Structure 1
């Protein structure tokens, strides 16, 4: 790659060309009067089959040209295991290597952001940006019949944004249909579109797949496609690392003046006339702030970094959706992704995909989902039992916990998300990458039921351990450090026993007397907690480490996403989430980035 001409200054320098950074860059460069630079550490894989082919995502994990491949420090509450975290190290960021699932938050989740002191943030104010970001294609007749989409899919919620979202044709009655029917028998039939901000029950989630090509639609292709890249006022610089932001003090505020970058051609300083926008993700946006002297004084001074803004909130308030994975052996007739362990099968399917316009399972996502209130092996728990649990575990009050409690107390707000993942999951004490977790290790064929905690109370951290940008920050998620998290997860694991013992899932999907991993039946709460400790990993939804909160409540950015103590450094990515929304978060990242682009444009006009 030839480094473009960077001699002239830019109005906006965007640090990170991931999900949020690509979105903001595309929207800001719509204005021909401003000059925009995107600096992305990884390469551009917009034409790479491993990225574009939905079924080949495992080929990216653990490879430095695709994946940052973070690992946590050992987690005491998880039998001292380390947890792996795939993070996109390429243009498009994690939208290039995620599992393509497109889910949406609830109204209560986003309204809570505003209630924490963020004027201008509510569900109604953010909702238009979900639509602006994407085009949701009409599901096919087979998809509607098998998964019951006609009961709840609201075609009036259609939109016309750059991200392409679709429902595939790879669903089967034996797997996806049985999932829907089983939840209906459990009293959890979906009746409202999950995009509406209120949903309980099983449903077929769409995926970020372009139905015309059967390829992954992600930030790099959707927002930084060939037409956008031809804009003369936009420069996209890949394989370049931002080392720090250079600032000066003006009229009592810190002003970003430039960024220092490292490319293969050497180090260079690039000036920013208006703003520096951090979009490096929940791990690396706080890292860049700390390397630039914005963070806790004690930490910065311990690494010899001059303190520009003393704010120990940087890198704190980190949240993640924990996910507990239980794998069950399936009937011989049930389609399982585990068959891809056979190289002959994989080669045949790749040939089908490449020669038949994306036909076959490699161009599909067949994961199904469900939103469920707090439940155990008897089903949804009573209001009295829920209150008792919350009273026991929530001894301390704070604004975040009070709002989360009010959400959990609602009978039609999901405490847990379930995913039906059509392959086995293997978990070790120190996985080398996500590939080790999802590539089949057992000879049998499995499906995995995944229990996701929608509203974690535990708060972790991410901080630098060196003034060198090439040394990864240390990630400590502190999973289950708040006692309520494992209590809800364990009850959710108990509810899995209810699912797998209910027809038609029990007989249509699972093999009679088949194996399970772990080989533990969650007959009681202690057994369920043992499963959590053995089988909990990350769902790759890290957020909150540069929280949009009042500074005295742990905030790093204000409601316009400007870093406290500065006049022109903004953060736009999942790190600004004050509270983790339910479900997979990529839809919320896109919406936040769309809204942020308008905030930035408004501030320039004003």
Structure 2
């Protein structure tokens, strides 16, 4: 890692944040040996840390300052005033180094809506090559095919040679098989590869795990490999915080980014120059923070905190989106696998010993299964007429371009409204969680599995803003879950559908204990009861995005279609904060694809200068 004294010469590019997106951009730009690139990362390099590398030890990362920024929301009025935890990676690799490694892809209609909102070149066909570019997809084993099917897996799509390894587990079991059969029996059997942009039904997602080593494949291990780290034109500075972007405001109407001010681990302040561009890749919660600390944001907020206004754009930190997830846990019958057995130290030790000896066992696997569905409720797929009737009740609040885009997706019978997820253990929802670990560590003696209901296209919008001119003060994240009442209506209907999945007559229900416990203890069969489950059991699935949206400025935009910050020159944003609409599914794949395309845009602009 770099010494501060090595930073005196200007860099061509300064990348702020060595996370999922930042390391992609730094890798691709530094491939040109004539370009000098600096990455500034607040965390440290945990590339060889077992807690990061071993997939089954992921719970040990959460809430620890050396790995996790560990945000928490204010009380959420629609969720019984509970606070919601938001884990964010604080290390090289960012959140790709502490997520659950799920590799899920968005839908064609979902990404096409980005272009329809005014972003030329950001449709599905334009982005599709980049979804292939970042990954090396390994073919599923015959064992995996036998248990979870994978008849839809299109081998012709698995032709990338990217830095991120994507693989299927060899540990799928009875719960995964029952999940697939339950959805198929309800008419939701996937027949197309989700990577092609259209899929409805249950399917087995792969994970970002290297099958050769059974270790996490993240941005740090993939895009900052030892060969890349040896590049003399790439400098990575860890344990340093960017306190602001430095602007030259003397040359015209647009402020020109000329570098950054950093604060080192020992408290030194230092300015570093960028000849070509500053690229913000600090994530959807901290990129807006850095912009506001630099004088780019709403005038009233900046003046309140004594920050000189460089660009007055109140859209910074607004338009925030997140996937709400409702977690219902069900006690399993004797003999049904559950991750809750890991509460026993002897079991955990035995599985770790197995992993260390041969790489075998669940510690090197991800066995979560998912499903995509249109709008469903306790009766099954909701009819087009019923959807129109529901939307008509909220007509007056669906007037913005973004709301109209979400409405079109909701009305399409081929598009995804819900993602269901089969999680292998119990979930707990305290009113004020200390970290994500409070959600996922088992505390009850019984063994459970959890069915998660995720709303893919929320209408609600939140925000994230500074509370101080001090970079050490965390910005306040206000997700505003269910602020738009349609979100509650949709989630409750999704919860009603769970009762069909776990009914005793289904393959999945047959694995549950007869008369067993459930969390919460109430049934979601009725709409009112389902809404109460949402209030008690909704949290975040850690997909925050949209806070520096790629939109026309008059529609709430912060960056244009080339990711350049409005009102500035030589400043871009490359991370999930630019998403104009939340992607379907887990967003890891979309962050990688966006960063890969952004690197090409940056190189194109450099070539044209």
TM-score scaled by length of structure 1: 0.99
In structure 1, distance between residues paired with 2:269 and 2:508 = 60
Q: Which position in structure 2 is the counterpart of 1:229? A: 229
CA distance in 2, matches of 1:181, 1:466: 53
In structure 2, runs of 5+ residues without a counterpart are none
Which residue pairs with 2:198 in the alignment? Answer: 198
The alpha-carbon distance between structure 1 residues 502 and 383, as it changes in their structure 2 partners (threshold 3 A), is farther
Distance across 1 between alignment mates of 2:381 and 2:474: 42
Q: What is the rounded CA distance, in whole Å, between the counterparts of 2:607 and 2:116 in structure 1?
A: 28
**CA–CA distance in 2 between the matches of 1:464 and 1:402?**
30
In the TM superposition, residue 119 of structure 1 has moved relative to its aligned partner by 1.0
Tell whether 2:10 aligns with 1:17.
no
Q: CA deviation at 1:252?
A: 1.9
- 1:213 counterpart = 2:213: yes
Match of 1:261 in 2: 262
- Contact residue 295 and residue 313 of structure 1 kept, 8 A: yes
C-alpha deviation, 1:96, in angstroms: 0.3
Question: 2:11 & 2:189 partners in 1: Cα distance?
Answer: 52
* Alpha-carbon distance, 1:507 to partner: 4.7
CA RMSD in angstroms comes to 0.9
Contact residue 240 and residue 263 of structure 2 kept, 8 A? yes
Kindly provide the CA deviation profile for residues 481-507 of structure 1, in whole angstroms up to 9, marking residues without a partner as x: 001101110000000001001644345
Q: Report how many residues are paired.
A: 603
Give the secondary-structure state (helix, strand or coil) at the position aligned to 2:13: strand
Cα offset, 1:393, TM superposition: 2.2
The equivalent of 1:442 in structure 2 is 444
Matches within 5 A, 1:344-383: 344-356=346-358, 358-383=359-384
CA distance in 1, matches of 2:512, 2:401: 44
Q: Indicate the larger mover: 73-82 or 493-502.
A: 493-502
The separation in 2 between residues aligned to 1:425 and 1:535, in whole angstroms, is: 9
Q: How far apart are 1:264 and its partner, in Å?
A: 2.3
CA distance in 2, matches of 1:2, 1:602: 28
Name the counterpart of 1:61: 62
In the other structure, the counterpart of 1:459 is: 461
* Paired position in structure 1 for 2:8: 7
1:452 deviation in Å? 0.1
Map 1:553-572 → 2, pairs under 5 A: 553-572=555-574
Measure how far apart 1:523 and its partner are: 2.0
Give 1:322's aligned residue.
324
Give the CA deviation at 1:390. 1.1
Query: Which structure 1 residue ranges, 5 or more long, are not aligned?
Result: none
Q: How does 1:124-203 map to 2 (within 5 A)?
A: 124-150=125-151, 152-158=152-158, 159-172=160-173, 174-203=174-203
Find the aligned partners of 1:600 and 1:468 in 2 and give their Cα distance.
30
Which deviations, in whole Å up to 9, do the C-alpha atoms of 1:316-367 show, x marking residues without a partner? 00000000000000112111110000011101111111111x1111001000
Q: Secondary structure at the match of 1:305?
A: coil
Whole-angstrom CA distance in 1 between matches of 2:315 and 2:144: 46
Following superposition of structure 1 onto structure 2, how do residues 259-298 of structure 1 map, counting pairs within 5 Å?
Answer: 259-265=260-266, 266-298=268-300
Once residues 3 and 349 of structure 2 are traced to their aligned partners in structure 1, the CA distance between those partners, rounded to angstroms, is: 37
For normalisation by structure 2, the TM-score amounts to: 0.98
SS of the residue corresponding to residue 281 of structure 1 reads: coil
1:258 Cα offset (Å): 1.4
Structure 1: 4+ residue segments shifted above 4 A = none
Quote the Cα distance in structure 2 between the aligned partners of 1:198 and 1:75.
Answer: 34
1:343 counterpart = 2:345: yes
Q: Distance in 1 between matches of 2:150 and 2:259?
A: 50
| Alignment partners' CA distance in 2, 1:251 and 1:197 | 44
Instruction: Tell me how far 1:3 sits from its aligned partner.
Output: 2.0
Match of 2:390 in 1: 389
Change (3 A) 1:121 1:53: same
Conserved? CA contact 1:87–1:94, under 8 Å: yes
Q: How many Å separate the matches in 1 of 2:425 and 2:433? A: 18
Check whether the contact 1:182–1:502 (CA below 8 A) recurs between aligned residues: no
